[in-house]
């Protein structure tokens, strides 16, 4: 797997994760259930990231090997990092870069 392919699948995974998380939150809110947003984001992003790799390999008729499983786990982790980074954390980080406190 090339770096460009990894990034391309990661971008696709991020978009799919965003939609999936919003769908899950909407369903849980409609059912009036309480939930931990970070946990929902973590589980969903890992599942979507791993599934994206296997979908790509299956769609293109590529063999699933030990390396493929490693790629899938890496994709799940990379997708989880992006999905669990909150707006407040990013805002605080950007503010600290410019010496501003939020």
Distances (CA, A) of 81 to 34, 47, 63, 73, 93: 23, 13, 27, 12, 15
The band of 23, judged by pLDDT with boundaries at 50, 70 and 90, is very high
Q: Is the pLDDT of residue 101 over 70?
A: no
Q: Is the pLDDT of residue 21 over 70?
A: yes
- State how many domains the chain has: 1
Give domain status of residue 24, yes or no. Answer: yes
Residue 23 belongs to domain spanning = 3-97
Q: Could you read off the pLDDT of 26-75 as tens digits, one per residue? A: 999 999 999 888 888 889 999 999 999 999 999 999 999 999 999 999 99
Model pLDDT, residue 68 = 93
Give domain status of residue 102, yes or no. Answer: no
Assess contact for 1 and 44: CB atoms under 8 A: no
Give domain status of residue 10, yes or no. Answer: yes
Q: Is the pLDDT of residue 93 over 80?
A: no
Give domain status of residue 23, yes or no. Answer: yes
Give domain status of residue 36, yes or no. Answer: yes
Give domain status of residue 28, yes or no. Answer: yes
If you write DSSP's letter for every residue of 16-75 in order, what string do you get? HHHHHHHHHHHHHHHTT----HHHHHHHHHHHHHHHHHHHHHHHTT----HHHHHHHHHH
Give domain status of residue 78, yes or no. Answer: yes
């Amino acid at each position: 797997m090339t770096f460009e392919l990894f990034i391309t699948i990661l971008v696709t995974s991020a978009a799919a994760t965003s939609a999936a998380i919003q769908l899950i939150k909407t369903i849980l809110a409609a059912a009036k259930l309480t939930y931990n947003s970070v946990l929902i984001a973590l589980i969903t992003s890992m599942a979507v990231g791993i599934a994206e790799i296997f979908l790509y390999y299956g769609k293109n008729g590529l063999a699933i090997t030990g390396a493929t499983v490693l790629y899938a786990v890496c994709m799940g982790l990379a997708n989880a990092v992006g999905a669990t980074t909150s707006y407040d954390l990013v805002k605080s980080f950007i503010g600290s870069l410019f010496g501003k406190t939020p």
